[in-house]
Structure 1
């Protein structure tokens, strides 16, 4: 019967009575599994029953492939409830993995296939599977079990069911953890990017409950969504504006945690890494024109970025400091790389926030941020493209802003700004009567 249900022509003309017979076999075999869960001495006699269960699931799985008629017929026989109950028993069964896993996997594949493109089946699968099946399978040691249960979750989720996830955050967090462990697996990735990231309420609740390592994974996926080949849609923008509020507020509150690295405190490396990743997300969000305007006026964000840049600049005078251009620390490679690019990204974020924004340009001037940015320019192996981001920030700070231009021109005259450095950045100071003018050179910087 398994073979019979494979070709599409055979699949579509299968008599309904076949499915009833398969289900009867499945129920009888399920009874043997239930008895073995109660009495471990029966486990040694389960091999043939598990093989039979595997073939039943394969038959039902194959019959449901792109065949709504079969999906409906099998669903109406209550096969979904039988399958879920049996899969939940599998977690209690103490038997060799090579004996159990084929039946376990085929059962999950059946549930995924019966729910595929069939809203009525999706509703029934959700009723039976949520939350116990997902809690049992998403953290399973077998990669295929995790992938197939993620497939069922992806197929069954809709906007209404997303609200139920907010009350069962462990399921959502387990999906993030699954992606963290298996980044090559398609289904956990799709569940997060196509479902979770469309719910600001869920993301906010998840973020509060996650470990820092899980937060880094989630933030990486937010970046992947922003910079992906497909741009954010009109429907995505309001959602990502909500994400931007979460990211910005968290960074404003926690950004000084990064300074623990200056004191050689590496005990909370994951907390620091999560904070650094918040900055990475803000850089990508402010590079998106639809999100930029909101973040440019976010209370306290620009001020806090300049504060952190100044504190790092002061501590970087110590050659043993992790933020020093010649920094060296006695730690594992991941810790040493943690601060890589952090200063560059602070300056990049300042540049983005000042893009065609006079208020922010003036605010950076008021906070003495321009000398700080100019003084940050230099070769630094830990901050690739640092000079380029300084150039970018200065251009955005001086565009249509004569006050900022005059400040840099005066700095050059007083010897506070290196003329050769300004030329490398594509600027030069020209004296016109009693007035100093900063202007772009004819040769742009590399």
Structure 2
């Protein structure tokens, strides 16, 4: 029966009063704490009146806040029950959402991403998501995106394989439906947070966009960002005379953007969105040629690692290069080029005009810094040739000047690992 039919206080208020009279939590009364919290949780699901009673009781919320967020040894079962109570108290109730967020919002945002993550994490994220979706609290968008990004950072740091359902709901809100607004909030993230957002986006694309397609405006914005920021990669060398103290984050952000573009441009879901992005093709091609040239000028992070002692499993050389922004960079650039050349006559024309083909041919050599570089280079050359007689003729007219230079081949005296172009027969 509805509690409004009674003249006596609602049952939820009785449990609140009983809860507040309990002595400080210890093993002897833990069951009583759990009993009242469970009753309140269940009442919230039965009638919205109870949600309002709980949300409006300042003293109870003050005590519950202290128990949840100030206690250093709160039993997990009580923590989970208290959080489930808060989650139930806000379901489909804008009024209670505003009041609960007033009491707990700051603490929830602070605790969402704190390690170790666990069952409580998804409940906290559920509260954030419900308040966000109802628009009951103003200016929640920026805060919610930051929460999602920080939780993702913690997942990566902990190498957690747990899937937090409401984390994906939050990201879905931004990357599938957000569009222009998401771009605005993304721009106000810190550089480290932007990189984490992009890393989540790469993960989402690799899973074939399970919760819906990425909003096209976001992909367009990311392309524009790369065109503006790609040159930062060229100044990320530690010994670059022009920028000896360059902050590595801008280069890493440009690298993260490139990873998104490489994944999206090769996807059947998004490939057509890049058909007219000719400035992107020119930018990526120019960057690849520049990196190839810089790598030849001196020994630096863009110089191919092709010596046996560098790539052998028994090598004493540090694997720190795998954490450098140069690791897999050429592979990503060539991968983008291959995708952007696919059935695109305009980009094939630019491939000829910019003399990109020799650089692609050079990339068919082994390079430990760039796994799968050879394979992506061959695909890029294939896509350049497909339906383009001019490039086919360029390939046909090349002459064989001997085995391509490869230190591993020289050391082992083996005929392997390099692309051969046979001379044309006249």
Q: Would you call these one fold, judging by a TM-score over 0.5?
A: yes
- 2:40 paired residue number: 60
- 2:267 paired residue number: 288
Q: Decide which of 15, 28, 34 is 1:22's aligned counterpart.
A: 15
Instruction: Give 1:162-177 correspondences, 5 Å limit.
Output: 164-166=139-141, 169-177=142-150
- 1:41 paired residue number: none
Q: Does 1:398 align with 2:385?
A: yes
Q: Which runs of 5+ in 1 are unaligned?
A: 1-14, 33-44, 434-446
For 2:84 and 2:68, the matched residues in 1 are separated by 20
For 1:95 and 1:305, the matched residues in 2 are separated by 51
Q: Is the 8 A contact 1:351 1:392 kept in 2?
A: yes
- 1:11 paired residue number: none
- 1:148 paired residue number: 123
For 1:178 and 1:149, the matched residues in 2 are separated by 11
Q: Does 1:365 align with 2:352?
A: yes
Report the CA distance shift for 1:23/1:88 in structure 2 as closer, same or farther (over 3 A). closer
For 1:331 and 1:16, the matched residues in 2 are separated by 70
For 2:137 and 2:393, the matched residues in 1 are separated by 54
Q: Is the 8 A contact 1:154 1:190 kept in 2?
A: no
Q: Is the 8 A contact 2:338 2:380 kept in 1?
A: yes
The offset of 1:152, in angstroms, is: 1.2
For 2:198 and 2:145, the matched residues in 1 are separated by 14
The offset of 1:254, in angstroms, is: 0.6
- 2:222 paired residue number: 247
Indicate the structure with greater helix content. 1
Q: Does 1:413 align with 2:399?
A: yes
Report the CA distance shift for 1:99/1:345 in structure 2 as closer, same or farther (over 3 A). closer
Q: Does 1:158 align with 2:133?
A: yes
- 2:110 paired residue number: 139
- 1:386 paired residue number: 373
The offset of 1:308, in angstroms, is: 1.0
- 2:82 paired residue number: 107
The offset of 1:223, in angstroms, is: 1.5
Report the CA distance shift for 1:85/1:25 in structure 2 as closer, same or farther (over 3 A). closer
Q: Decide which of 321, 337, 356 is 2:300's aligned counterpart.
A: 321
- 1:74 paired residue number: 50
Instruction: Give 1:224-235 correspondences, 5 Å limit.
Output: 224-228=203-207, 231=210, 233=212
Query: Scaled by the length of structure 2, what TM-score is found?
Result: 0.77
Q: Is the 8 A contact 1:50 1:100 kept in 2?
A: no
Query: Scaled by the length of structure 1, what TM-score is found?
Result: 0.73
Instruction: Give 1:10-49 correspondences, 5 Å limit.
Output: 18-26=11-19, 28-29=20-21, 46-47=24-25
For 1:400 and 1:161, the matched residues in 2 are separated by 56
* Cα distance per residue 1:170-225 (max 9 Å; x no partner): 34213311221134351563243332223123431232122222122111211222
CA RMSD of aligned residues (A): 3.9
Instruction: Give 1:307-318 correspondences, 5 Å limit.
Output: 307-318=286-297
The offset of 1:429, in angstroms, is: 5.2
Q: Does 1:190 align with 2:177?
A: no
- 2:233 paired residue number: 258
Q: Is the 8 A contact 1:138 1:178 kept in 2?
A: no
Report the CA distance shift for 1:108/1:417 in structure 2 as closer, same or farther (over 3 A). same
Report the CA distance shift for 1:408/1:161 in structure 2 as closer, same or farther (over 3 A). farther
Q: Is the 8 A contact 2:38 2:81 kept in 1?
A: yes
SS of the counterpart of 1:181?
A: helix
* Cα distance per residue 1:123-162 (max 9 Å; x no partner): 2343223466333222224645554321212344427569
For 2:144 and 2:226, the matched residues in 1 are separated by 26
Report the CA distance shift for 1:360/1:24 in structure 2 as closer, same or farther (over 3 A). same
